[in-house]
Amino acid sequence: MSKLFEPYQLQTISLKNRIAMAPMCMYSAEDDGMVTPFHVVHYATRAAGQVGLIILEATGVLPEGRISNKDLGIWDDVHIEGLKQVVDGMKAYGAKTAIQLAHAGRKATVEGEIYAPSAIAFNDAYKTPTEMTLNDIEKVIEAFKQAAIRAEKAGFDALEIHGAHGYLISEFLSPATNKRTDAYGGSQENRYRLLRQVIDAVRSVWDGPLLVRVSAEDYAENGTTMDDFIVFSRWMKSQGVDLIDVSTGGVVQANINVFPGYQVPHAEAIKHGAGIPTSAVGLITTAIQAEEILQNNRADLIFLGRVLLREPYWPLHAAKELGEEVTPPTPYVRGW
Ligand code: FNR
């Protein structure tokens, strides 16, 4: 049997295979963060395509923490019902469901003030953020906690904290963006403090599977490297995080040499260096490539992004390629 189609136990939940849909913003929400019929269809389609775990796009825990005003929101109870419809649509086809809880920090492009560890703009196209006070930090931690409570009410099986790509948490982790001189800046431990407190706050209300997405490399001289993330990942493990979703980049502008599987070494280094399950993501497009990563024990799950936008039924083709039997969704059985 292939490893890609082997079930995977993620804390309390069992995934039917190792294929996950990476979180991808669809910029299709109503202005107030509400789900639309598009989201229900979009995510249910990937579930029908037999993706084992689907992670909903970056969803704002605060309105000022959205990448755009078309991001999904989870900052108010009014969002729960729509998210529940998306969850039900995915569950109807046997997928396990997760949501990425996010705060965009200095990369928010919404109206009004935006916030970051330090008052440095990402580039000329972005607003200069306000340096966060300790009260602002408290508010963000509480917002992640409340978002976790709402996500549970909406029925999600797992949560992912967005700690990658130069959004708020990632900005705190990196010395390239965090110039603070208080308890939240300077040493590795201080830069990790916000993520530590967010994880603890979420864990105080959520005992299900918890993932954290990180950018394990800034590709910048004054930025973080894989070694920092091996340390951070050990800390995350000790706080009860179940899996690190390993991405890279996005913190500062950088030239990144992108090629098939380019982030796999990061997932592999963290998996073995910190002794915690990881997922690999980034230009993984073929079943053989996915199988190689899993069989060589380089990561535990395969996250697919763009290839699942182009081909929602990717897992069905992958099964054929690897000689696996996959039970199709019931309505398709007669035509199988
Ligand atoms: C993304 N990505 C992304 N990442 C994330 O953590 N949260 C998000 O909401 C988004 N949004 C998003 C939208 C779109 C349209 C794309 C293409 C990408 C990054 C994504 O999850 C993934 O890491 C990358 O796309 C690399 O994987 P692929 O596409 O090469 O398989």
Per-position DSSP letters for 69-124, written without gaps between them: TTSEE-SSGGGHHHHHHHHHHHHTTT-EEEEEEE--GGG--SSS--EESSS--SST
Binding region for FMN: 58, 100, 213, 305-306
Architecture of domain 15-335: Alpha-Beta Barrel (3.20)
- Confidence at 242, pLDDT banded by 50, 70, 90: very high
Atom of ligand 1 nearest to the CA of 303: 31
Q: Measured in whole angstroms, how far is the alpha carbon of residue 27 from the centre of its chain?
A: 16
pLDDT for res 327: 82
Binding region for substrate: 27, 162-165
The residue among 28, 48, 46 whose CA lies nearest residue 327 is 48
The residue among 167, 192, 166, 196 whose CA lies nearest residue 180 is 192
Between CA 38 and CA 31 the distance in angstroms is 14
Cβ(101) – ligand 1 distance below 6 Å: no
Domain ranges of the chain: 15-335
Cβ(279) – ligand 1 distance below 6 Å: no
Between CA 313 and CA 94 the distance in angstroms is 14
Both tokens of 200, joined, read 């603890």
- More confident: 302 or 1: 302
Between CA 331 and CA 158 the distance in angstroms is 27
Atom of ligand 1 nearest to the CA of 100: 7
> What average pLDDT does this structure show over 289-306?
98
The pLDDT of residue 331 is above 90: no
Cβ-contact 275, 236 below 8 angstroms = no
> What average pLDDT does this structure show over 171-200?
98
The pLDDT of residue 63 is above 90: yes
**ipTM score over 0.90, yes or no:** yes
DSSP count for the chain of H helices, then E strands: 10, 13
> What average pLDDT does this structure show over 199-204?
98
pLDDT for res 335: 78
Cβ-contact 71, 58 below 8 angstroms = yes
DSSP for 10-31 reads ETTEEESSSEEEPP-----S-T
Atom of ligand 1 nearest to the CA of 306: 29
Q: Measured in whole angstroms, how far is the alpha carbon of residue 314 from the centre of its chain?
A: 20
> What average pLDDT does this structure show over 238-248?
98
- Confidence at 326, pLDDT banded by 50, 70, 90: confident
- Confidence at 291, pLDDT banded by 50, 70, 90: very high
SS3 state of residue 291: helix
> What average pLDDT does this structure show over 246-274?
97
Phi-psi region of 275 (alpha: psi -120 to 50; beta: other; left: phi over 0): left
Cβ(129) – ligand 1 distance below 6 Å: no
- Confidence at 215, pLDDT banded by 50, 70, 90: very high
> What average pLDDT does this structure show over 278-288?
98
> What average pLDDT does this structure show over 45-56?
97
The pLDDT of residue 55 is above 80: yes
The residue among 59, 71, 212, 91 whose CA lies nearest residue 157 is 91
Cβ-contact 197, 145 below 8 angstroms = no
CA of 119 to the centre of ligand 1 (A): 26
- Confidence at 334, pLDDT banded by 50, 70, 90: confident
- Confidence at 31, pLDDT banded by 50, 70, 90: confident
Q: pLDDT for 77-113, tens place per residue?
A: 999 999 999 999 999 999 999 999 999 999 999 999 9
Atom of ligand 1 nearest to the CA of 165: 6
pLDDT for res 245: 99
Mean pLDDT of the chain: 97
The pLDDT of residue 336 is above 80: no
How many alpha carbons fall within 13 Å on the CB side of residue 7? 10
In degrees, rounded to 5, the angle at the alpha carbon of residue 231 between the alpha carbons of residues 229 and 232 is 60
pLDDT for res 328: 82
CA of 305 to the centre of ligand 1 (A): 6
CA of 129 to the centre of ligand 1 (A): 24
Q: Measured in whole angstroms, how far is the alpha carbon of residue 330 from the centre of its chain?
A: 30
Cβ(256) – ligand 1 distance below 6 Å: no
pLDDT cut 90: percent of the chain above it: 96
Cβ-contact 97, 156 below 8 angstroms = yes
- For 320, other C-beta atoms within 10 Å of its C-beta total 12
> Which residues have C-beta within 8 Å of that of residue 149, sequence separation ≥ 6?
205, 206
> What average pLDDT does this structure show over 45-55?
97
pLDDT for res 332: 83
Cβ(57) – ligand 1 distance below 6 Å: yes
Q: pLDDT for 104-147, tens place per residue?
A: 999 999 999 999 999 999 999 999 999 999 999 999 999 999 99
pLDDT for res 151: 99
* Among protein residues, the one whose CA lies closest to atom 3 of ligand 1: 24
Q: Measured in whole angstroms, how far is the alpha carbon of residue 59 from the centre of its chain?
A: 10
SS3 state of residue 20: strand
Three-state secondary structure of 184-250: CCCCHHHHHHHHHHHHHHHHCCCCCCEEEEEECCCCCCCCCCHHHHHHHHHHHHHCCCCEEEEECCC
Atom of ligand 1 nearest to the CA of 162: 6
